[in-house]
Amino acid sequence: ELGGSDMFDPRLACKVICSVDVAYGGEAGFNQAIELAAESLSSVKFVQEKKLINHFFEQIHQDTNKFVFGVSDTLKALELGAVETLIVWENLECTRYVMRNTASGDEMFKFLTPEQAKDESHFVDPETGSHLEVVDSDPMTDWLTIAYKTFGCHLEFVTNLSQEGSQFVRGFWWHWWYSALCH
C-alpha cells in the first residue's frame, strides 16, 4: 500500500480520506476511484457536480419534460416559477444588458455573448429602428447569483473539469451552457 511506503510523503497522511483499488490507469482509473470513494467524498463539490449533471442527463434520457435548456426557454421557465435547479457553466461568457429605447423610453433586456455584443443590430429596435441605449450591463453569472432567489430556485454552477461537466458544456454549447431542472 502506498500509504505505508517510503515513497509516500507523511505530510499527506492527514489529507487521505480513504484508499481504494482501481483496475485502470489514467483518467479511467481516476473516474473509477471517484466512483468507489463516492460515499467518502459525498461532500466534495466535484462529486456533487457529477451527481447533479447525471440527474439532469437522466431527466433528458427518460424524456420527463422536467428540464429546459437555452436562454429563452430557461427564462420562461424561471418567470413561471417552474425551475427547481438552475444549472450554469461557471465560465459562461454572456452579458445581461438593460436597454432603453431612445424614442419610446421603453426598457428591455437582452442576453448577449461577446461576439453578439459586437453586432450593432442588437442595439437597434427591429420594429422602429430606434437606438437602444445601454442603461446597465452585468455578466450573466453575476446577475444570476442575485436574481435566482426571486425565481424561487436553487442555483448550481458547474465546471467542465469532470467527464460529466465536460459533456454538459460540449453537449449544450449552443444553448449558452445553462439549463434547468423543473418541478
pTM score, whole prediction: 0.70
Nearest to 120 by CA among 128, 112, 170: 112
> Model confidence over 119-146: pLDDT tens digits?
999 999 988 899 999 999 999 999 999 9
79 backbone φψ class: left, alpha, beta (φ>0; ψ -120 to 50): alpha
Tens of pLDDT along the chain (183 residues)? 676 777 888 888 777 888 888 898 888 888 888 888 877 776 677 788 888 888 888 888 898 888 888 777 888 888 889 888 998 888 888 899 999 999 999 999 999 989 999 999 999 998 889 999 999 999 999 999 999 999 999 999 988 888 888 888 877 644 444 555 665
Residues contacting residue 114 through CB under 8 Å, at least 6 positions apart: 93, 95
Distance CA(98)–CA(141), nearest Å, equals: 15
